């Protein structure tokens, strides 16, 4: 696409840039030094190599994977520019200390993302809440008062012109060269794709990157399901913008579908009507048809990039991010199996070594852990979506605590599904105790992170309820935990009934009380978790990744 054609297609912003002058770079760099600089701590991330056996892929598929990896590398460059600045390469090269350099790469800047963005490089100062999406001297009052049509949209940088007035620079202009190269790579990958539909998606995504209009490619992607190789790429989530939450950060994951686990997920989805009928609540609370508006599959990740690769790494994706598109097309949930295994081996197992009673330690295994995660996702389709007493939908009735209750419901119904399948003789693989003990270990891992989100609160809700009802037992002498296998079925059914009826009744005050009392890490558990710090259990993972780890160097 030539310069003149871009001018015709989008005259307003381009004419503004030509007349008043604008720069994609934010002026001034990081703010002045502030007290409280911490030491770099790269050891909080456990290294894990993202490898895969590509032997059964065709030559064209392997070539396509290599091209998609190149596109993901460009995403890293764009995210650095969004979150730190255009001079990031020179800044990285100026860091002499090896630990500080590695930690800067892990954090995409001089701020520790797992310690409230504290600076760990002298002179860095606090991280601007607007990252590099906005001028560093911009105040909320100035932004809110400015006449700036489109100021709340996702795909532009806010900059100052030569007169100091605020203007918008669309991503397609700010990153024109990088996006042109990225689009070319996606089109090259399309020419190598076995799936005609996936090839079309790649071409649509290439166009979207150059136009900042992602709706068509997002909608088309939701219907592409015959591809074993996939890529999520573009400006998607807005969490990096802590000033207003408007601007989307570039991110990417390149994944390979795990056909065996995905087939098991499809089988579970087919069981939804039968599982809904078996829920331990009166008919009114299970009268809604179970919903499976989610395309749920298992994948192995071979490349994280940009926002996906920073801080706490996701082990599952739920897309599209746009809520209107979700209403139209449903949701695609992607369980990232090898990423989950990375955290299982480097974080969850060391936690189990310290906090799980030794007689039950062998029951913590990855297959049970991953299956619990699958059942959790399937369980979101069960239970009431509407209240039974005309209070509207469950989400409307429970408002700000709806997410915690929903995650808690999925958490407990995952164990309910495990138990039901076991009782029906339909549960292959690990034995029932493996699922139970692995779920307890996962709750301890969640407590260790103390993330403060709905998923973490829901995990603590289940943990504390089971402790109170004797299904989880703490040995006072060792400070280790075990599952009482005999009490588990009763505890599971009791909590499942409580949460399902809480949703169906839309009891907001009771939901708030439940979250306040049970959705927290208790003082006793917090004291137990301190032992994990003493043995240096990592907080997250850092991936060794790229073509070299996949045998695609050439």
Which residue positions in the chain have pLDDT lower than 50? Answer: 1-35
Q: What is the pLDDT of residues 56-80, one digit of tens each?
A: 999 999 999 999 999 999 999 999 9
Query: Using CB atoms within 10 A of its CB, is residue 252 exposed (0-12), middle (13-18) or buried (19+)?
Result: buried
297: Cβ–Cβ under 8 A, 6 or more apart, which residues? 257, 258, 261, 262, 265, 332, 333, 334, 335
As a dihedral over the C-alpha atoms of residue 178, residue 179, residue 180, residue 186, rounded to 10 degrees, the angle is: 120
Nearest-angstrom CA–CA distance, 496 and 419: 12
Nearest-angstrom CA–CA distance, 348 and 366: 10
pLDDT of residue 2: 29
Nearest-angstrom CA–CA distance, 452 and 454: 7
Token pair of 6 as six digits? 């871009």
Nearest by Cα to 360 from 256, 438, 420: 438
pLDDT of residue 420: 92
The model scores a pTM over 0.85: yes
481: Cβ–Cβ under 8 A, 6 or more apart, which residues? 355, 356, 357, 440, 444, 472, 473, 474, 475
Nearest-angstrom CA–CA distance, 118 and 384: 42
Q: Is 483 left (phi over 0), alpha (psi -120 to 50) or beta?
A: beta
pLDDT of residue 452: 59
pLDDT of residue 9: 31
Report how far apart, in Å, the C-alpha atoms of 507 and of each of 145, 235, 391, 513 are: 40, 38, 9, 10
pLDDT of residue 7: 26
């Amino acid at each position: 696409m030539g310069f003149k054609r871009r001018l015709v297609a989008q005259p307003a912003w381009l004419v503004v840039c030509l007349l008043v002058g604008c720069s994609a770079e934010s002026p001034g760099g990081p703010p002045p030094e502030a007290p409280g600089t911490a030491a770099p701590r790269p050891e909080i991330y456990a290294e894990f190599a993202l490898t895969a056996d590509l032997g059964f892929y065709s030559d064209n598929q392997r070539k396509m994977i290599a091209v998609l990896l190149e596109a993901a590398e460009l995403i890293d460059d764009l995210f650095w520019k969004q979150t730190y600045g255009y001079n990031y390469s020179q800044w990285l090269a100026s860091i002499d200390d090896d630990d500080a350099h590695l930690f800067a790469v892990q954090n995409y800047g001089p701020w520790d993302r797992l310690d409230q963005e504290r600076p760990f490089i002298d002179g860095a100062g606090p991280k601007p809440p607007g990252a590099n999406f906005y001028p560093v001297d911009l105040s909320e009052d100035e932004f809110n008062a400015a006449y700036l049509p489109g100021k709340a949209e996702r795909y532009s940088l806010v900059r100052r012109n030569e007169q100091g007035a605020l203007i918008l620079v669309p991503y397609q202009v700010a990153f024109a060269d990088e996006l042109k190269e990225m689009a070319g790579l996606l089109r090259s990958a399309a020419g190598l794709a076995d799936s005609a539909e996936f090839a079309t998606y790649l071409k649509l995504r290439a166009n979207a990157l150059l136009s900042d209009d992602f709706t068509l490619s997002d909608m088309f992607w939701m219907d592409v399901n015959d591809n074993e190789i996939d890529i999520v790429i573009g400006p998607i989530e807005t969490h990096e913008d802590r000033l207003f939450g408007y601007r989307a950060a570039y991110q990417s994951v390149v994944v390979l579908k795990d056909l065996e686990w995905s087939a098991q997920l499809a089988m579970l989805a087919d069981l939804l009507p039968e599982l809904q009928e078996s829920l331990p609540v009166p008919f009114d609370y299970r009268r809604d048809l179970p919903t499976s508006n989610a395309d749920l599959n298992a994948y192995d990740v071979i490349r994280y990039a940009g926002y996906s690769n920073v801080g706490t790494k996701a082990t599952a994706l739920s897309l599209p991010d746009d809520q209107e598109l979700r209403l139209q097309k449903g949701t695609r949930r992607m369980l990232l199996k090898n990423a989950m295994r990375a955290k299982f081996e480097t974080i969850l197992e060391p936690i189990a070594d310290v906090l799980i009673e030794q007689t039950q330690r062998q029951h913590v295994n990855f297959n049970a852990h991953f299956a619990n995660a699958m059942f959790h996702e399937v369980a979101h389709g069960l239970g009431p979506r509407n209240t039974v007493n005309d209070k509207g939908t469950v989400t409307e009735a429970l408002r700000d605590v709806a997410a915690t209750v929903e995650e808690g419901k999925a958490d407990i119904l995952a164990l309910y599904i495990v138990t039901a399948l076991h009782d029906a003789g339909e549960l292959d693989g690990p034995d029932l105790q493996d699922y139970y003990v692995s779920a307890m270990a996962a709750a301890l891992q969640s407590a260790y992170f103390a993330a403060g989100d709905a998923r973490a609160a829901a995990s603590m809700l289940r943990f504390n309820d089971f402790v109170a009802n004797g299904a989880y037992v703490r040995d006072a002498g060792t400070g280790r935990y075990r599952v009482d296998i005999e009490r588990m079925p009763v505890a599971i059914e009791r909590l499942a009934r409580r949460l399902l009826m809480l949703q169906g009744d839309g009891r907001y005050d009771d939901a708030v009380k439940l979250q306040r009392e049970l959705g927290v890490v208790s003082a006793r558990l917090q004291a137990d978790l301190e032992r994990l710090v003493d043995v240096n259990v990592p907080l997250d993972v850092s991936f060794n990744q790229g073509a070299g780890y996949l045998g695609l160097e050439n």
